[in-house]
Chain A
Amino acid sequence: MTSDGGMDDDNNNGIVLTEEQKRRRRARSIAIALALGALVLLFYVVTIVKLGPGVLQRPG
């Protein structure tokens, strides 16, 4: 069983995604990955901008 409820491709008795469904799932996964990557970059840049040189100062 795959994580989305489908069966492995070699088990023909279970749920088998069509090629189109696989293609769309892959596109959704890539979009989520890109969005998360963009968020990481955004948070990094915003942190640098907000803290400025203070980002290098360690507590204590």
Chain B
Amino acid sequence: MTDLIAVENTGRSFAISDATVGDYFALMKPRVMSLVVFTALVGLVVAPGHFHPVLGFAALLSIAIGAGAAGALNMWFDSDVDAVMSRTARRPIPAGRVLPKEALAFGMTLAVGSVAVLGLVANWLAAALLAFTIFFYVVIYTMHLKRTTPQNIVIGGAAGAFPPIIGWAAATNAVGLESVLMFLIIFFWTPPHFWALSLRRAQDYARAGIPMLPVVSGFPETRRQILIYALVLAPVGASPWLLGYAGALYGATSIAAGALIVWLSWRIKILGDSTAGDRAAKRLFGLSIIYLFALFAVLLIDDWLGAPGRGLLL
């Protein structure tokens, strides 16, 4: 526990920090960061043209640190609700190991530093997109949407969807249609992924006063929405192949994985409030992570094989 010690007769207080290096690392939400780094890497690698590997590494590092900054600023603002949710109560700020003002300073330093370095290493379009992503996640999602609307993670999901566009922009100084497709995949993936989790954490969210969809509209409506988004996600997931940007390997993977997501979402809907339904929600949450990693990994392999598809629609 960080101790605030008042020194007599001076009116000043000093914080004796108990924070470990790991606490500051945890503030950056490393698991979210890994997804950001991976999707940004794919955007950067599949972009046309050659980008020097050293500059690519520096650009990816900037994007990762930028994502970490957004995570730290999110934890700074959300420390009150984190403290009452069992999933987040052990985070560094609610656990008392890091002071909110320390997390704020840490997050702001990383945010400014990452944007500046990305601008200098790659280009200012990529830097502006990174700055906008941090702003969107912290100000639009964390400070406003999260506490006011059940559509919080739908709109807020855009922040998590930007990294491939930033990676693409870092390599090309432009925003390509292919990177927009990658954005759309993550954007439509986010609702079924998070709602599958929120079905099982609804009481936690209700206690914290967060208007997640199951809390506001109930479980049946959430299950219906999961299925609707899964039905949209499946064709969007296959769109890089449908439009000829990816080869047959990607096409087969995205169709099979998309069908699995739709099938699991359907099972969640028909099983309803049951142990089997709860298990299906747990499986959808876990499999949705594998789904996203698999699609982006195959995009990378496809690019490496140099075998773009002919495109069914174009």
Contacts and interface: CB of A to CB of B under 8 A. Distances in A.
B55 A49 contact: yes
Contacts of A21: 16-18
Interface string A2-14: 0011100000000
Interface size class of B (residues with CB under 8 A): 10 to 19
A5 B16 CA distance: 8
Contacts of A4: 14, 16
A55 interface: no
Contact of B21 (A6, A17, A27, A50): A27
A15 B8 CA distance: 12
A28 B16 contact: no
B14 A5 contact: yes
Contact of A24 (B19, B52, B54, B61): B19
A15 B14 contact: yes
B14 A46 contact: no
A45 B54 contact: yes
Nearest to B54: A49
A50 B16 contact: no
Contact of A27 (B16, B20, B55): B20
Nearest to A50: B55
A6 B19 CA distance: 16
Interface in A24-44: 24-25, 27-28, 31, 42
Interface residues of A, number: 17
Given A46-B54, A46-B55, A49-B54, A24 B18 contact: yes
B121 interface: yes
Interface in B33-74: 52, 54-55, 58, 61
Nearest to B113: A39
B313 interface: no
B173 to A, nearest CB: 14
B16 A42 contact: no
B52 A28 contact: no
A15 B21 contact: no
Contact of B52 (A6, A17, A20, A49): A49
B107 to A, nearest CB: 15
Nearest to A29: B21
A20 to B, nearest CB: 8
A42 B14 contact: no
A50 B5 CA distance: 49
A27 B23 CA distance: 12
A15 B16 contact: yes
Interface string B1-43: 0000101000000111111110010000000000000000000
Given A4-B14, A6-B14, A46-B121, A28 B54 contact: no
Interface of B: 5, 7, 14-21, 24, 52, 54-55, 58, 61, 120-121
Interface of A: 4-6, 15, 17, 20-21, 24-25, 27-28, 31, 42, 45-46, 49-50
6 contacts: A15-B14, A21-B16, A24-B17, A28-B24, A42-B61, A49-B55
Given A24-B20, A31-B21, 17 more contacts: A5-B5, A5-B14, A5-B15, A5-B16, A15-B5, A15-B14, A15-B16, A17-B16, A24-B17, A24-B18, A25-B17, A27-B20, A27-B21, A42-B61, A46-B54, A49-B54, A49-B55
Task: List 5 tightest A-B contacts by C-beta distance, closest first.
Answer: A5-B14, A31-B21, A49-B54, A27-B21, A46-B58
